[in-house]
Amino acid sequence: MKIKTSNQTPKKTPALKKRPWLTAIKVFFIVFFSVIILAVLAGGAVFVYYAKDAPKLDLSKLESPPSSQYFDSSNTVIATMGAENRSLVQANNIPIQLVNAVTSIEDHRFFSTRGIDPIRIAGSFVHNLKGDSINGGSTLDMQLVKLGMFSTDKSDQNLRVKVQEAWLALQLDQKWTKEQIFTAYVNKVNMANGYYGMGTAAKAYYGKDLTALSIAQIALLAGMPQAPTTYNPYVNQSAAKYRRDLVINAMYNYDKISAAQKAQALATPITDGLLPLKHSVSIPAFADNFLKEAKAQADQLAGVDTANAGVKVYTTLNTSTQETLYNVVNTNQYVDFPDKDLQVASTLINVETGAVVAQIGGRNLPKNVTFGTNGALRVDRDWGSAMKPLVDYGPAFEDGVYDSTSDTVMDEPTTYPDGTPLNNWDNSYLGAMTVKSALQYSRNIPAVETFVKVGKENSSNFLKKVGIDLGPLNWANAISSNTSNPKHGASSESMAAAYAAFANDGVYTRPYYVTKIVFPDGREIDYKPSRSRAMKPSTAYIITNILQGIVKLPLSISVGGNANIPGMTALAGKTGTSNYTDDERTQITNKYGDISGMVSPDENFVGYTPQYSMAVWTGYQNRMTPVYGDTILCATKVFSSVMGSLYPDPSSVSDWTAPSNVTVNGSFASINDKG
């Protein structure tokens, strides 16, 4: 049986009906993923484009040097300096609640990210495309990079900076641990009112360490860095409370505190525990002039700006004496100053060490000016007859021109060697007199006669040995420190140091303000005072013997008697009165009338004990405003008020002892040999 076959083609299955929505989904996903890929590629390109120009990561800029501290001679902090007032905390002094507070409000994934948070970077990118500034959203790593290497200015709130912060944050995460990064952040942030670092703020605002703060107080500090001025609890309490409460709620939301702790913290007044606000920069006005010179010396020793180096600078300042000097000069409690404009400049030096103990550069100086002009170092005013022991009589005894204070000199009409008229201050002459009387009575003519015998070169050499450079001397320097060169002259500092050599057996020490500098890494620089023998012990004693008599003279003979400290034998000093020229005196008379007695631009006193040497200048800023009448007593009164405060029992101070080659016979002293 044949099997019948068919030539008919089998019937095909009908095609499925087309479904457009499937095609749409397919297209959507293709487009979606393409956009994502393109966005990633574009984002990567942008990231690379901006990151390639990022600055090199400088870890030193992320670290925060503490404020530099300046100590007085008793090792008490008297000032803090630096662009930022900052006390550093170590990782082991940061409480866990502060870690929780900061990470909850700023970067809750801090410990699980590697320097950047891609989600936040994407958000920043979207904001930038919309034209918004790039604010917030940074990891703590990025915030630390911004604080150290960029700025918080609006100009640095853009995509370029954000990318560079991210790139550097990635590098930072490879170099530092999370503990190091967090600690650096805590020490770096701005906490308003001139304070930097949360540890600094804790001490300034609450008087406590971070570890002693409550949750509410910690939350306040943790919330401030985002906008320190806005969230300043001393200025805007409502905004500060709003921000603090955000932190507290964030801590609760991330299970860092319990519901009870949250309720208690939210109920705490924003002012809880806040101390009265103190100014962050601590440079006391009473020591401003001294500290200016101390910083200058410290900068030179350290080779850096010590105010911003986080160093400890140990100075020679006696705070109690400095305060006394400031009060004596700036009140009428001790000295009857004629008006507010009379100026005073003074330096007090430790005779044995050469250290500057106290210094002031002027009266009624503006309190809002720090490190202004220090009149204590100006050399353009005249020390008058206070120069005579240094220019004339000191070198005369040193070089053997005189052997005894009883040697005779003549006080008679004469001129300077160049023919210039020469007069005594009272326009009278006393004839033959002893060297001792000539200096004690401050006679000009015997002083010039002595200067001529000594010679300009010998006198100049003697001056330089005691730290004074008047440049090429002129004959008038026998009774004056005036020079034609404004860089040469004498200051209260140099005069006090020079006279200290008389008090210290003839040994001169260059005045200094700093004894030691300690760097954050423990390295130390010790200052070694520069000492040298300026004169023979016999010369120092002879001059001292003469000057001791000046402070015992009655006021009718010498203003120096006003410097006397009752009961103190071991006290010596010399007055100094400068002069007006005849033309200047005529101008003074025309303006002020015919003033009787002494009239001068400068009235000074330099005196010393076996322990201290002190120079005091008084005068007006405008030298054509004269010092006269009772005003001539101000310098000596400043001296006795301050020097007297150093000696509760003046009679207990031992007098100077004559060297073996000096014989004291009654009121006169003589050098027995030239040795």
Residue 15 has pLDDT above 50, yes or no: no
The SS3 call for residue 36 is helix
- What mean pLDDT is predicted for residues 21-36? 66
Q: pTM for this one?
A: 0.77
**From the candidates 87, 385, 480, 578, which is the catalytic residue?**
385
Mean pLDDT score, 493-497? 98
Residue 1 has pLDDT above 50, yes or no: no
Q: DSSP class of residue 193?
A: T
Asked, colleague to colleague, whether 83-267 and 384-671 share their fold, the answer is: no
Is the pLDDT at 176 greater than 70, yes or no?
A: yes
Predicted confidence at residue 86, as pLDDT, reads 81
User: Is residue 36 very low, low, confident or very high in pLDDT (cuts 50, 70, 90)?
Assistant: low
- pLDDT value for 135: 45
**Angle 634-635-640 (CA atoms, 0-180°, nearest 5)?**
95
Please state the separation of Cα 608 from the chain's center in Å: 28
Q: Could you report the per-residue pLDDT of 357-380, keeping only the tens digit for each? A: 999 999 999 877 788 889 999 999
pLDDT in tens, 437-453: 999 999 999 999 999 99
Under the banding of pLDDT at 50, 70 and 90, the label for residue 162 is confident
The band of 123, judged by pLDDT with boundaries at 50, 70 and 90, is low
Q: What is the pLDDT of residues 16-27, one digit of tens each?
A: 455 676 776 766
Pairing of strands 507-509, 195-196: unpaired
Task: Identify which has the larger pLDDT, 278 or 260.
Answer: 260
Mean pLDDT to the nearest integer, 322-342: 97
Residue 355's nearest CA partner among 464, 517, 493, 463 is 493
Residue 106 a catalytic site member: yes
Give the start-to-end residue ranges of the domains of the chain.
Answer: 83-267, 384-671
The DSSP H or E segment spanning 181 is: helix 178-188
Look at residue 13 in the predicted model and tell me its pLDDT.
47
Percent of the chain with pLDDT strictly greater than 70: 87
Instruction: State how far the alpha carbon of 604 is from the alpha carbons of 356, 495, 559, 600, 659, in Å.
Output: 19, 11, 10, 10, 30
Q: What is the mean pLDDT of residues 555-579?
A: 94
Three-state DSSP class for residue 225: helix
On whether the CB atoms of residues 558 and 366 are closer than 8 A, the answer is no
**pLDDT tens digits for range 222-250:** 999 999 989 999 999 999 999 999 999 99
CATH entry, 83-267, from 1.10.3810.10, 3.40.710.10, 1.10.1750.10, 3.40.1160.10: 1.10.3810.10
CATH of the domain spanning 384-671: 3.40.710.10
Is pLDDT at 473 greater than 80 in this prediction? yes
Read off the pLDDT band of 120 (50, 70, 90).
low
User: Helix crossing, 237-253 with 215-223: angle to 10°?
Assistant: 110
Structure confidence at residue 127 (pLDDT): 58
Single out the catalytic residue among 84, 106, 293, 449: 106
Residue 5 has a pLDDT of 43
Strand 507-509 relative to strand 531-533, pairing: antiparallel
Model pLDDT, residue 520: 86
**CA–CA gap between residue 307 and residue 311 (Å, rounded):** 8
pLDDT band at 479 (very low <50, low <70, confident <90, very high): very high
Per-residue pLDDT reduced to its tens digit, 78-91? 998 876 778 889 99
Instruction: Please tell me the distance from the alpha carbon of residue 62 to that of residue 519, in angstroms, as a whole number.
Output: 18
Query: What confidence category does residue 150 fall into, taking pLDDT thresholds of 50, 70 and 90?
Result: confident
Cα dist from 70 to 287, 291, 298, 346, whole Å: 11, 8, 10, 21
Mean pLDDT of 257-285: 90
Residue 83 vs residue 601, higher pLDDT:
601
Helices of type H across 487-633? 492-503, 537-550, 582-592
Range picked from 276-280, 462-466, 577-581 for highest mean pLDDT: 462-466
Average pLDDT over residues 414-418: 94
pLDDT of residue 48: 57
Report the chain's mean pLDDT, rounded to a whole number.
89
Q: Is the pLDDT of residue 3 over 50?
A: no
Residue 133 binned pLDDT confidence (cut-offs 50, 70, 90): very low
**What's the pLDDT tens digit per position in 498-511?**
999 999 999 999 99
**How many whole angstroms separate alpha carbon 382 and alpha carbon 576?**
8
Query: Using one digit for the tens of pLDDT, what is the confidence trace for 91-106?
Result: 999 999 999 999 999 9
Check residue 2 and give its pLDDT: 44
Is the predicted pLDDT of residue 29 greater than 90, yes or no? no
What pLDDT sits at residue 148?
82
Question: What is the reported pLDDT for 360?
Answer: 98
